[in-house]
Amino acid sequence: MRTLLVTLALLSLPVGAAENHKPAPSASAPAAELSVAAALVLGVVEGVTEFLPVSSTGHLIIANHFLGLEAEAPLLSADGRPLYYRAPSAQYPQGVPLTIKQAADTYVVVIQFGAIAAVGILYWTQLIALLRGLLGRDPAGRRLLINLLIAFLPAAGLGFLLHGWIDAHLFSIPAVIIALVTGAGLMFFAESWRRKHANRTTPPAELTPKQAAGIGALQCLALWPGTSRSMTTIVGGYFAGLDPRRAAEFSFLLGFVTLTAATVYKSYKGGAAMIQVFGWSNVLLGAAVAAVTAALSVRFLIGWLTRHGLAAFAWYRLALAVALAALLALDRL
């Protein structure tokens, strides 16, 4: 991961925006350029961190900062007028101005389609079982599907209500530092708890509705960037009686549902504006890279958790939080 952050720094290529005084783009061209290097970096960060308990959103916020994707100056059309990506409202009488930051925040969600595809390929048999359960042909698949839906609903509902406030107030380096430290403490506690209850091995399909709801309640914590959806669902799985492997696999399947819903919603809300800014090619490149790296990450996590548990990831989170806090103190962020 340290190598990854160094790579981010080396590949910090600012994205052209309106204030750079470049010629205005044509109507068919992207409003700004996202370099191939930046698209590759974001795809790798998304794929590697999406299913590891270290927070993909937190790492992508850091990546966006180093890659210069935080500019909030309104982008301009070919005739020099500001571009808008939302309809006029009381707060924005002319519409919400389109910026590099808004497009980049959407980009890092949309390329999650790659991570979703990786889970779909690796766990296609479980997904078929869920489909058979939905059709009433697989009782175990039906029970697992119900548990996944119960675990999905709390974060989905809360996220729908608070997404605007979260985007406005929590997508920052200080917020990520707080979440990294808090999440590490929860992981140390959960790992200690698991080792005291190692004889509990509930299959995911046999979780009670209350246990599934408990996992869903913990997943709500991941709405704070830097916490990690994967971490909260794995920890919730521990408390519900799942062993590390089953907790991770339940997290992957729950992630398939959650990420699909979040990605479709974000694509609907801001996808057209993001394409208008960056164009199609680098969006597809980022998603493809995310798919490959996510598949490798999933395989790695299963083996690591089975042998070593969560502690190493908690220590990594603390080290990253300290590094970020030091950079903030030195005014380097």
**Percent of the chain clearing pLDDT 70 (strictly above):** 89
Residue 97 phi, psi dihedral angles, 5° rounding? -60, 145
Cβ atoms 100, 70 nearer than 8 A:
yes
5-39 pLDDT per residue, tens = 333 333 333 333 333 333 333 334 455 568 899 99
Per-residue pLDDT at 31:
54
Q: What is the mean pLDDT of the chain?
A: 85
Selected residue with higher pLDDT from 217 and 267: 217
Q: What is the mean pLDDT of residues 226-239?
A: 95
Selected residue with higher pLDDT from 268 and 119: 119
CA dist., res. 83 & res. 74, Å (int):
7
194-221 pLDDT per residue, tens = 988 876 678 899 999 999 999 999 999 9
Predicted TM-score of the model (pTM): 0.82
CA dist., res. 175 & res. 57, Å (int):
11
Residue 89 phi, psi dihedral angles, 5° rounding? -145, 180
125-172 pLDDT per residue, tens = 999 999 999 999 999 999 999 999 999 999 999 988 998 888 888 888
Could you tell me the CA-to-CA distances from 182 to 159, 188, 191, 329 in Å, in that order? 20, 10, 15, 20
Q: Which amino acid would we find at residue 137?
A: R
**Paired tokens of 41:** 């970096």
Q: Where are the domains of the chain?
A: 2-10+31-87+94-329
311 CB contacts (<8 Å, ≥6 apart)? 187, 188, 191
Per-residue pLDDT at 33:
66
60-106 pLDDT per residue, tens = 988 998 998 888 888 877 677 777 777 777 777 777 788 888 888 88
Q: What is the mean pLDDT of residues 96-123?
A: 89
Q: Which amino acid would we find at residue 41?
A: V
Per-residue pLDDT at 99:
86
**Percent of the chain clearing pLDDT 90 (strictly above):** 57
